[in-house]
Structure formats: C-alpha cells, structure tokens
C-alpha cells in the first residue's frame, strides 16, 4: 500500500513539473541580412529546439547553424564556411533568457500579450546580452512566442568581404517564431 501511494505521489509530482515546461523541436528562425546591393542573404531554420517555463517565463532556444536554408546554395556554403559562421567549429547558436513581464501574461486566457525579453545570445562562440520586445499568443493549449531583433555581426566576431562590400548587412534582422503545443 505504501509503495502504491509513493508511486502515485511521484507520478503526480512529475506530471506537475513537466506541465510547467513547454517544448518544441519545430521553432523557426529567419535571418535577413539583405542590402540594397543584394536581396538574397536570407535564410530560414525550421528545426529550432525551444523551451518555455510556464511558471517563471524562462525561455531558451537552440538552432543548428547548418540547418539555415538559403535560396542560393552558394550563399549557404559561404554562411557555413570558416570565413563566416564556421558551422563546423560553432555548430549551434543559443539563447537563454526570461520574459521579464511574464506576470502580465495570462496563459489561461486566450489573447495576444506584449512580451519583454532579456537574455544571452551565443553565436560564433561569443555571448552577448539581448533585450527585445515580442509577443506571446495564447490560443487554447497552444502558446506562440515571437520576437525580432537585430545584431551587429562584428560583435560576434563575424567579418568578411561580402560584409565590407555591402552585399551583406552589418546588422541583420533575426525573427524568432516558436509554437509550444
């Protein structure tokens, strides 16, 4: 009898703990480094792993750099090369942060809520603080989080001829869209 009660208690506690964290393996990050000289430096990654702690607003994602897909295969090769992202040496980018106004987001009520996000973004082995605004949309049991921001590639040790020639912007826009079910 004691074993049965213990097992039921553990099952209840573990289901409560897991219910506090939403995860996905199909988030999306769009990368837009276009300029007036070149409209092609755009990429999309649809295999982003993400987690949201529904108790405290902690949010994190990880993207495999080689999973960014470009319309131009040559551009994808350049992006992953040692002269740019160096995906062999730095295979992932990560973000670990918090929705700082999480207490204003009601996960039990459908709607779209503004979200203030602060955290650490690591690209090319370099970590920098990022603060941005986004939104959290609640629709039934689905929680969608979106945000966009720009980075300075030089801050992450990324340089190259295409950047200096103005074919790739020095401050690309990154758009993150995650849906937790």
> Domains along the chain?
21-180 (2.40.128.110)
Cα-based distances in Å from 9 to 1, 13, 16, 54, 69? 12, 6, 11, 22, 46
What confidence score (pLDDT) does residue 4 get? Answer: 39
Dihedral Cα 102, 108, 113, 116, nearest 10 deg: 10
Among 8-17, 101-110, 158-167, name the one with the lowest average pLDDT: 8-17
Confidence band (pLDDT; 50, 70, 90) for 16?
very low
At 38-83, the pLDDT tens digits run 888 999 999 999 999 999 999 999 999 999 999 988 889 999 999 8
CB atoms within 10 A of CB 176: 23
What is the rounded CA–CA span in Å between residue 151 and residue 132? 11
Q: Tell me the whole-structure pTM to 2 decimals.
A: 0.86
């Amino acid at each position: 009898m004691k074993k049965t009660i213990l097992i039921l208690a553990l099952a209840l506690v573990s289901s409560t703990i897991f219910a506090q964290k939403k995860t996905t393996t199909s988030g999306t990050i769009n990368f837009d480094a276009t300029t007036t000289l070149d409209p092609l430096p755009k990429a999309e990654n649809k295999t982003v792993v993400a987690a949201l702690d529904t108790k405290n607003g902690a949010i994190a994602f990880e993207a495999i750099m080689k999973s960014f897909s470009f319309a131009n295969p040559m551009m994808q090769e350049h992006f992953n090369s040692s002269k740019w992202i160096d995906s062999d040496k730095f295979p992932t980018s990560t973000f670990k942060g918090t929705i700082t106004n999480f207490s204003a987001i009601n996960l039990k009520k459908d709607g779209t809520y503004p979200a203030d996000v602060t955290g650490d973004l690591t690209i090319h082995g370099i970590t920098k603080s990022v603060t941005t605004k986004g939104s959290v949309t609640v629709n039934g049991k689905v929680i969608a989080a979106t945000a966009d921001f720009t980075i300075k590639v030089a801050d992450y040790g990324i340089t190259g001829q295409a950047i200096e020639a103005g074919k790739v912007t020095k401050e690309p826009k990154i758009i993150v869209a995650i849906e937790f079910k």
